[in-house]
Amino acid sequence: MANRHDPAIKVTDSNQAIAYLKEGNERFVSGKLMPKDFYAESLKAVAPQQSPFAAVLTCSDSRTPPEIYFDQGIGNIFVCRNAGNFADETACGSIDFAAGVLGVKVVVVVGHNQCGAVVNAAKGTDGLPPELTSVLAQIKKNFPSLSEAEITGACQDGTAVKANVMASVEKIKNLALVKKTGIPVLGAYYDVGTGKVTWY
């Protein structure tokens, strides 16, 4: 199993980038994390410029930090986070920049169970602040209308979460610089209870 990526070394292969993420999550789940005593050296390596090998769009939920569950260090992952991990204008612009300028070799959209944004988008947005209502309305477009009886099941088994993730994956695939580079755009599901990432 490969070690966590040294941020001073540029990754040039998408398969290697994906392997770093998958192996990092295996370490996280097994409790065999890489030592953190190299952070001071990492700061020196990335201070002049950054060369992340992956871009990750994930939820703002405090239980879902990708640098931790992928067991990566400073400078390795370009992260975009918002409520519901959906590809809004800011996320899309950031990811296109990561692909075309920073040279990431893979983009991953990660959803998760117990996602409050997906649950509330499914249930409805009555009584919520207008800023949040706007966000949830955009997420709601990413999966079919659900009846009250279907909401709990769809959110527990990941149906709505997966639909939301894959809608963002398809949108990101069509960004100008992502298409130009030809890098893979993948979807994944994070379990907040086990720490395991399942790849779609």
Strand pairing of 54-59 and 107-112? parallel
Domains and CATH numbers, the chain: 14-115+171-199 (3.40.1050.10)
**pLDDT tens digits for range 104-122:** 999 999 999 988 888 877 7
pLDDT interval class at 2 (50, 70, 90)? very low
Contact predicate 139/59, CB 8 Å: no
pTM: 0.87
- pLDDT winner (highest mean) among 56-60, 117-121, 123-127, 130-134: 56-60
Q: How far is CA 120 from CA 115, 155, 156, 187, in A?
A: 9, 10, 13, 21
- Please report, to the nearest 10 degrees, the dihedral formed by the alpha carbons of residues 48, 52, 57, 59 taken in order: -70
**pLDDT tens digits for range 72-92:** 988 999 999 999 999 999 999
